[in-house]
Amino acid sequence: MDFSLSPDLEDYRRRVREFVDRELIPLEADRANYDAHENIADATLARVRARVRDAGLWALQMPRRLGGQGLPMVGLAACYEEMNRSIFGPVAFNAAAPDDGNMRVLAQVARPDQQERWLRPIVDGEVRSSFAMTEPHPGSGSDPSMMRTTATLKNGKWVVNGRKWFITGAGVAQHFILIARTSDDARKGLSAFLFDAAQPGWRIERRIPIMGPEEHGGHCELVFEGLEIPDQNRLMEVGDGLKLTQIRLGPARLTHCMRWLGLARRAMAVAVDYVGQRSSFGQKLAEREGVQWLLGEAAMQIEIGRLLTMRAAARLDQGDYARKEISMAKIVVSETLQKVVDTALQLNGARGYSKDTPLEWIYRYARQARLVDGASEVHKMVLARHLMDEGDAYWRWDDADAPRKALVV
């Protein structure tokens, strides 16, 4: 068993870390670098993205043929964690959701001509993208089989009618991946499509106000009233919508975990710094056993999340879907992020509740982690199904002879 990173991946990790410390964390203290929704302002983002490119750290997750760095999931786990020690990190490296997951799935399943038209501009940072699946009640949420948005083939075009909501980034996205019902078949009833924001037949009904800071373009409710999609803009085969969703969501959940671990580490770094300076009743906070127990618990939970995340990443690199490993990582890391930032905020006293540190930002952001890309309860249901189906095989170890990837170029 070897937990070390290869030298090339360690070099990427170190360079991402240095970039974040040097270029991004200092920006967080100046309110001029924020937009109206508490994310990095467009002008600041354009500047840092240019510097990321100069540093050779742009689009780590994309193959080199598409202008990325071709890192495997194990390398991304190490780099994304370092990245999100800054709240501005992922978007600066073109590694933020939903573009991150959208790029990955398009690189995997889109035809070469579709990749040129729809994927390359996202990789290049020229446009943003959204993934439109979830619907308001009584449509699909945790259960995709409840989908009500339909796409009906008429004269070689798919005509879309329905409603989606919580579509991240829709306010600024140009390229959309849409999941819609094309038949009543239980397994093959959904299909996936691409459309451009400039096409008529759909609109943003509202940008949904949320409790936390927002991704660029917010979380929007969309209405489809006769959007026409040429058949050439269908992704995969008719009926493969659920399959595409599974291909996209597994790795997308795991890259969330990688980023959230970075946020959790940042929260602890702020806490460790404060308790090392601050005293009460004649003693440094850091010297108090009650404080040390809180720090030790948080550090242990973060490490548990890292191990689960890295294990799932390794399995993905071996070509496995890693469904149960990803579900476990998603549950543990989302809950760890929330607990850890709460601990960090508590240990900072009133300062933690202020905007003088990123803790309150991370605290408000963290609550969504247990909901997005599958609620914790749904992932536990998935694990229970695996346990009941697999029996003792559930506990098997990885095959030592399985191939390992170093760099995917």
| Interface with ligand FAD (CB under 6 A) | 98, 131-134, 141-142, 166-168, 219, 368, 371-375, 377-378, 381
Instruction: Output the smallest distance, CB 263 to ligand FAD, in A.
Output: 15
How many CB atoms are located within 10 Å of the residue 409 CB?
10
DSSP symbol at 170? T
Instruction: Output the smallest distance, CB 390 to ligand FAD, in A.
Output: 19
Positive or negative CA dihedral for 390, 396, 400, 406?
Answer: positive
Q: Which is nearer to ligand FAD, 13 or 104 (CB)?
A: 104
Residue nearest to ligand FAD (CB): 141
235/246 Cα distance (integer angstroms) = 14
| 173 Rama sector, left if φ>0, alpha if ψ -120 to 50, beta otherwise | beta
Q: Which is nearer to ligand FAD, 325 or 373 (CB)?
A: 373
Q: Which is nearer to ligand FAD, 339 or 364 (CB)?
A: 364
Q: Which is nearer to ligand FAD, 210 or 299 (CB)?
A: 210
Can you state the percent helix, strand and coil of the chain, rounding each to 5? 55, 15, 30
23/19 Cα distance (integer angstroms) = 6
170/193 Cα distance (integer angstroms) = 15
Instruction: Output the smallest distance, CB 219 to ligand FAD, in A.
Output: 5
Which of 408, 380, 362 has the alpha carbon at shortest distance from 107? 408
Q: Which is nearer to ligand FAD, 22 or 385 (CB)?
A: 385
Instruction: Output the smallest distance, CB 373 to ligand FAD, in A.
Output: 6
Q: Which is nearer to ligand FAD, 109 or 378 (CB)?
A: 378
Instruction: Output the smallest distance, CB 81 to ligand FAD, in A.
Output: 21
Instruction: Output the smallest distance, CB 30 to ligand FAD, in A.
Output: 26
Instruction: Output the smallest distance, CB 141 to ligand FAD, in A.
Output: 2
Here the tokens at position 363 are 């605290």
Q: Which is nearer to ligand FAD, 197 or 406 (CB)?
A: 197
Q: Which is nearer to ligand FAD, 197 or 378 (CB)?
A: 378
CA dihedral (115, 116, 118, 124) in degrees, to 10, reads 110
- Furthest-apart CA pair in the chain: how many Å? 80
151/154 Cα distance (integer angstroms) = 9
Instruction: Output the smallest distance, CB 127 to ligand FAD, in A.
Output: 16
Q: Which is nearer to ligand FAD, 205 or 398 (CB)?
A: 205
Q: Which is nearer to ligand FAD, 157 or 370 (CB)?
A: 370
Which pairing describes strands 175-181 and 129-132: parallel, antiparallel, or unpaired? parallel
Instruction: Output the smallest distance, CB 380 to ligand FAD, in A.
Output: 8
Angle at 247 between CA 245 and CA 252, to 5 degrees: 85
Instruction: Output the smallest distance, CB 368 to ligand FAD, in A.
Output: 4
Q: What are phi and psi of 78, to 5 degrees?
A: -70, -40
Instruction: Output the smallest distance, CB 185 to ligand FAD, in A.
Output: 21
Q: Residue 185: exposed, middle, or buried by beta-carbon count in 10 A (0-12, 13-18, 19+)?
A: exposed
Q: Which is nearer to ligand FAD, 63 or 213 (CB)?
A: 213
Which of 102, 119, 95, 189 has the alpha carbon at shortest distance from 149? 189
Structural element, H or E, at residue 177: strand 175-181
Q: Residue 190: exposed, middle, or buried by beta-carbon count in 10 A (0-12, 13-18, 19+)?
A: buried
